Structure 1
Amino acid sequence: MHAMQYEITLPADYDMGVIRDRVARRGHLMDDYPGLGIKAYLMRERGEDSPVNQYAPLYLWNTPGGMNSFLWGAGFQGIVEDFGRPGVQHWTGLSYEEGPASAALPRSATRLRSPMPPSAAPADVVEAALEESRRLAKAPGAVATALAADPRHWELLHFTLWDRPAPQEAGDRYEVLRLSGPERERLGKGRQW
């Protein structure tokens, strides 16, 4: 599994209805995309638990080929044409779990990026993060949760989809506009190694 996200931060007075309309018109294009486990169409609005207006979809890929096909093909080119070329963040997958609300459509998501302490053994940090990911997966309202790591910057990513407003926990909170999950069942459960 590979996690990927790009953030398009928009002006404070941007009409976020434009993003909602874009997702409503184009979101179905990812519903059968080869290699894609999940694409969560995420949005934050300034003043509603967010300091910025932002469109920030997050992907969980089953295959590097699917991710590469998207990035170097027509999929990502649409983003580049409409918004310019954003930086693409990438993490290697550590675990994926379905939650008690796995059959529900997610309404919100949380994303927590945290640095791994330089003095700690990476394996110990990951093991503690796996325990936290398992805890999140059992929380009421959890649809699914993923844990990933960026070993270049020694950063962890916790990502959770919720069937209700996201809990007031640390991290960024998003509204989920849509979820595409053509190969969700192939993401595998639990630890990814």
Structure 2
Amino acid sequence: MSLRGQGAGTRSLVSMDRYLIATVGAMRIAVSAETVAGLLTIAESGSIEAPMVQGQLYAAVDLAARLGVVPEEDGPDTRVILLAQGTARASVRVASVHGLIECEGRRVLPLPRQFRGEERGWYGGLLLFGEGVAIVLQTQWLLGGAEALSSSGRVSQGYSQSLVSNTAAPAVGRGMSC
């Protein structure tokens, strides 16, 4: 028997959550990494509102408008985040992607009491990380915007993309920890 005990590895009893951190307008957001299906550059996504990737249509959600922030002009760091949960699919355009954070679920702070209305359904809390604070967005709210667009018939165009981009922002590969 070794000093390490029965197994060579250790198991954590603390659940870890992963979030993709991005910027929309002047706001940093955090999206559950479990729902991120891929990232596209602007060149890969084009100007089409609803990209089709591997036969799946991702309805475009104007996240800046839904959050009430002024969107930034598209630049070299602009990405389209593809989101999927079950059969619901959406795509959101962000000014930049800062990276992937893995942290304990308790590190997501609850919303302050000033958030009393419908915004409690939009935001899941505040995530503190090395560079500042990001607002955790509720997955159901994000994907709900895509479902509303689909049911209204506004998502009618799409284009086919064979593979999800392997070219992501440099920070995405690094990962961060909180």
Q: TM-score, normalised by structure 1?
A: 0.29
